[in-house]
Amino acid sequence: MTPFTVIGGFLGAGKTTLLNRLLRAGTGRRFAVLVNDFGALDIDSRLVVEHGGDTVALANGCLCCTIGDSLVTTLLALLEKPDRFDHIVVEASGVADPGRIADLAVLDPRLVRDGVIVVVDAGSVRERASDRRVGDTITRQLAAADLLVLNKLDLAPDIAALRAWLTTHSSSPVVEARHADVPLDLLFGLDRHGAAGGPQTESAFASWSYEWPTPVERDLVLGMLRAAGVLRAKGIVRFADAPARRSVIHQVGSRLDIADGEPWRESETSRIVLLGLKPMLGSLQKE
């Protein structure tokens, strides 16, 4: 399985600086890094061996990808590449909940959640956490962390007081840094090595399976697949308008493919599995 790591933190905390260190490092690992914008990354031109529009391949075996219309689609497409990577890293946006993004590891059995690193701006985090407009975002990010990188240490007036304050929002280990300069090995293997100390929140995702013993109306299935919140679906269905054929369904995000192929086997039962957000799936289950 491929380890899946999320780097989060509020705007300006130093996430991109940390990613640049990762991309330049000669760790021997082939990282695939997913970001919103190449422009924010200062990729050393001497490392670039190929620029493919939405991807940049580096000489050290790493790959940098921009997130397209959907993080889910980009992530799962990456898993289909013939050259597998040792580790996948996502830079969360500055206002995102990195814990929810890390939960995407359940989307595919080839992924395993490796941890959430949250970069903290030592000079401004307490002030921002007390701001009613962004305070909830800050505290959610801290609570989601398996590891806190306390960055810009030189800007904090009282390190001891700041560390004490952090313990009220997270029980995770803290590594102190300037310019996001941390030993990169500390960032990975958090779950496997037992270093994760943050609260374990309930996953935002769930899966449901549906079966039909008789041919099913196509509009019914399409309505389920198009429901808001469906992230992935797989199934083999016998549609009422084509009862002689097996229809293979595969959906990733908004991209839906239905391939009609082999004859239907009478021993089969139509079955589809949906994975997505719990509120959506829960409402479908009740119908």
Tell me the pLDDT of the chain averaged across its residues: 83
**Residues above pLDDT 70, as percent of the chain:** 85
Instruction: Give the whole-angstrom CA distance, residue 47 versus residue 26.
Output: 11
Task: Let me know: does 125 contact 15? Beta carbons within 8 Å.
Answer: no
Q: CA 287, CA 275: separation in Å to the nearest integer?
A: 17
* Domain range 205-286, CATH architecture: 2-Layer Sandwich (3.30)
CATH code, 2-187:
3.40.50.300
In 79-106, which positions are buried (b, 16+ CB within 10 angstroms) versus exposed (e)?
Answer: eeeeeebebbbbbbbbebbbbbbbbbbb
What are the backbone dihedrals phi and psi of residue 128, each rounded to the nearest 5 degrees, phi first? -70, -35
Q: Which pLDDT belongs to residue 191?
A: 52
Q: Outline which parts of the chain fall under CATH 3.30.1220.10.
A: 205-286
Q: Where in the chain is the domain with CATH 3.40.50.300?
A: 2-187
Q: Look at strands 205-212 and 255-263 and give their pairing.
A: unpaired
d(CA 225, CA 228): 8
Residue 280 one-letter amino acid: M
Q: What is the pLDDT of residues 220-251, one digit of tens each?
A: 888 888 775 677 788 899 999 999 999 999 88
Q: Is the pLDDT of residue 198 over 50?
A: no
Q: In the Cβ-directed half-sphere of 78, how many Cα atoms lie within 13 Å?
A: 31
* Alpha carbon distance 266, 251 (integer Å): 25
Q: For a pLDDT cut of 90, what percent of the chain falls above it?
A: 35
The closest alpha carbon to 21, from 177, 125, 153, belongs to 177
| The residue to which tokens 């000669």 are assigned | 26
**Largest Cα–Cα separation, the chain:** 73
